[in-house]
Amino acid sequence: MCVILEKEGDDDGVMLVSPNNFSAVEDNCIYRSGLPQPSNFPFLKSLNLRSIIYLCPEPYPEENLKFLRINSIKLFQFGIDGTKEPSAMSSSAITEALKVITDVRNHPVLIHCKRGKHRTGCLVGCLRKLQNWCMSAVVEEYKHYAGTKWRETDLKFLEKYDVSRIRHCLESIIYRYYGSKKRRLQYREESLQKPQMTSVL
C-alpha cells in the first residue's frame, strides 16, 4: 500500500509519497511501513514524527540517519533477524519495543523493518493482543500486510507471545476516547524505566 498526497498550499503541487506498506496503526500516533526511501522523507516530515522503531539488525541507512537528525527524530533499533527460523523472532526484543510504542512521549512513532510485513507485523500483532484484540482479528491484520508472503512461524509466535511480559510494566496506562472514539494509550505518570535497546541517535 502506498499513499500519495498533494501538499496543500504548494504552488508546485509537490506530491507526498508514503513508504511501501504504510498505514496508521492508531490514528495520529502510531504508524507502520517498510523501510522509508529518500523520496518518502517529505511524507514522513508531514507526520511530525518524534521517533522511529527499526526492527532490523543492519545499520540504519546514512541518508535516513541524516533525515532523523535534521528533524530531531529519535531512533530505537531492535535487531531482529529476518529469517523464517522460529527462533529468529525475539520475545524480549518485542517486549522492549512495546515499551517504546506504549510510551506516549515517543508519539507519533513509525514502526518499520525492510518491507513492513513480518517483523513489523509481529510487533503490531503483539500490540493488538495487548489491546485485547481477539486472535482471529490479529491474524487477519497480519495477513493483510504480509500478503501472500505470510509465515506460519510468525502466526505461531503471535499465538504464543505472552502479553503478561509487558502488562505489569504498563500499570500506569489508561485508555482514553477522543471525539473520533479511537482508542489511544496514555500514561497517568511520566515515570517509566527506560527500555534496553541499541541507541543510534
Which residues are marked as active site? Answer: 113
Question: Is the Cα dihedral 119, 125, 127, 129 positive or negative?
Answer: negative
Identify the band that residue 87 occupies on the pLDDT scale cut at 50, 70 and 90. Answer: low
pLDDT per residue as tens digits for the range 93-150 = 999 999 999 999 999 999 999 999 999 999 999 999 999 999 999 999 999 999 888 9
- 65 DSSP β-pair partners: none
Identify the band that residue 11 occupies on the pLDDT scale cut at 50, 70 and 90. Answer: very low
What the block records as the C-alpha cell of 129 is: 493482543
Considering the entire predicted model, what is its pTM? 0.78
Averaged confidence pLDDT in the chain = 82
